């Protein structure tokens, strides 16, 4: 009975953690769909309004490894709960933002909250799985995040179309409040590895330990490969709604199809990767080799997504690029969590890579014209850089 009870607890904890990842997926991918409406409301241009996306990623990138190192000896329940409260407050602030500056600040605060939450969620998620199921459970997390996109994006876009973009942020605040309550009930309140003495020194050691990870060449190039891949995928995605509005005169709730295709592509890619990566590894192949194959698929997908052909070809390319991009992220997360078992800070760097990539890609592409040769060249260059970094990581591993 004790063993059965423990197994039930792990399942309940896993479901709760998946709920957090579901909301994070909806949050991150909903905002680009709202950019045209936000820009119109604040009478700003699209590039400046897209800083709300870049601010989230930049805040996450800067704070996640540091915050994770400082909090690495704290209980998962406390860290996740505190971070979720930050996100709830930030979403509420975005709902009432009087101008673009306050909105950007609110999104940066959301990035800080996510930076606190996500690495601990992934680390705790790993702890809910047996060794043979760890890869399936971890990659399952990417699938749940993608499901958040599928559900959250069209719902949020429809709310924005029938009211305004503020309603979407209000819905996010309510959703995050719900998963905060669930984590308080499901997660254990204490950390068995917490140290009562020398808390400051323990925190400093955690931060320094996270920085020392970069001395490992394979680790460094895995993170760089993920940053480059997500810069291509998510940087382009930040502008896809505006591109469709300009090319095909699509606006309002109809833009929700973009989010549905992106989320569906991510979900399909995550599910395929969950099954295929296990088969790949059983054959003795390095998991990062699978990631490199995914970059070739992403190159093809992004080319189709941006090409001036038809909306249907662009949407197919969008789905392909998201399927490949989530595979690159998921295999990187699997590699890092397996190589540095239980190290939240190592996981935080790879989680940060997605948000760093989103910020870098959004910022770099903002200097080009939508759909121009420069726009395409920068997007595809990021993909090539990801493949080269992955190859170096395998050789150095």
What are the chain's domains? 2-190+199-396 (1.20.1250.20)
| pLDDT confidence of residue 17 | 92
Q: What is the pLDDT of residues 122-152, one digit of tens each?
A: 878 877 766 666 667 777 788 888 888 777 7
Q: Kindly report the pTM of this predicted structure.
A: 0.77
The tokens of 225 are what?
A: 């490969």
Least confident of 78-87, 158-167, 173-182: 158-167
Q: What is the pLDDT of residues 32-61, one digit of tens each?
A: 778 877 888 888 887 788 888 778 878 887
| pLDDT confidence of residue 192 | 47
Q: How far apart are CA 322 and CA 320, in angstroms?
A: 5
Which long-range contacts does 367-371 make (Cβ < 8 Å, 24+ apart)? Answer: 370/239, 370/242, 370/243, 370/246, 371/243, 371/247, 371/306, 371/308
Whole-Å CA distances, 179 to 4, 19, 94: 25, 6, 19
Inform me whether the pLDDT recorded for 321 exceeds 90: yes
Inform me whether the pLDDT recorded for 176 exceeds 70: yes
Q: What is the pLDDT of residues 324-377, one digit of tens each?
A: 998 898 888 888 877 776 677 777 788 878 878 887 898 898 888 887 889 999
Inform me whether the pLDDT recorded for 387 exceeds 80: yes
């Amino acid at each position: 009975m004790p063993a059965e009870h423990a197994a039930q607890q792990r399942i309940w904890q896993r479901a709760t953690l998946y709920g957090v990842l579901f909301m994070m997926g909806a949050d991150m991918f909903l905002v680009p769909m709202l950019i045209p409406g936000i820009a119109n409301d604040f009478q700003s241009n699209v590039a400046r309004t897209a800083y709300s996306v870049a601010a989230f990623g930049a805040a996450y990138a800067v704070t996640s490894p540091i915050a994770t190192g400082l909090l690495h000896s704290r209980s998962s329940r406390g860290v996740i709960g505190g971070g979720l409260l930050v996100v709830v407050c930030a979403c509420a602030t975005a709902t009432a933002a009087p101008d673009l500056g306050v909105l950007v600040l609110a999104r940066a605060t959301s990035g800080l909250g996510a930076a606190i939450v996500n690495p601990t969620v992934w680390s705790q998620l790993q702890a809910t799985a047996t060794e043979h199921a760890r890869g399936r459970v971890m990659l399952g997390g990417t699938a749940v995040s993608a499901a958040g996109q599928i559900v959250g994006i069209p719902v949020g876009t429809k709310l924005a179309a029938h009211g305004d973009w503020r309603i979407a942020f209000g819905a996010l605040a309510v959703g995050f409040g719900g998963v905060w309550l669930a984590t308080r009930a499901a997660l254990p309140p204490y950390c068995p590895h917490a140290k009562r003495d020398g808390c400051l020194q323990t925190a400093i050691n955690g931060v320094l330990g996270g920085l020392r990870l970069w001395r490992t060449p394979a680790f460094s190039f895995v993170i760089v490969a993920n940053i480059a891949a997500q810069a291509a995928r998510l940087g382009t995605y930040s502008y896809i709604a505006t591109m469709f509005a300009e090319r095909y005169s699509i606006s309002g709730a109809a833009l929700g199809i973009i989010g549905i295709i992106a989320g569906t592509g991510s979900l399909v890619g995550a599910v395929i990767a969950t099954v295929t990566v296990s088969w790949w590894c059983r054959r003795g192949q390095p998991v990062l080799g699978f990631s490199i194959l995914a970059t070739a698929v992403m190159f093809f997908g992004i080319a189709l997504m941006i090409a001036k052909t038809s909306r249907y070809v662009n949407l197919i390319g969008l789905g392909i690029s998201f399927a490949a991009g989530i595979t690159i992220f998921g295999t990187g997360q699997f590699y890092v969590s397996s190589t540095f078992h239980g190290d939240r800070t190592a996981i935080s760097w790879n989680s940060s890579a997605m948000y760093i990539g989103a910020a870098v890609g959004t910022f770099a592409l903002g200097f080009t014209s939508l759909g121009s040769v420069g726009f395409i060249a920068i997007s595809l260059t990021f993909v090539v850089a990801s493949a080269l970094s992955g190859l170096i990581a395998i050789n150095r591993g």
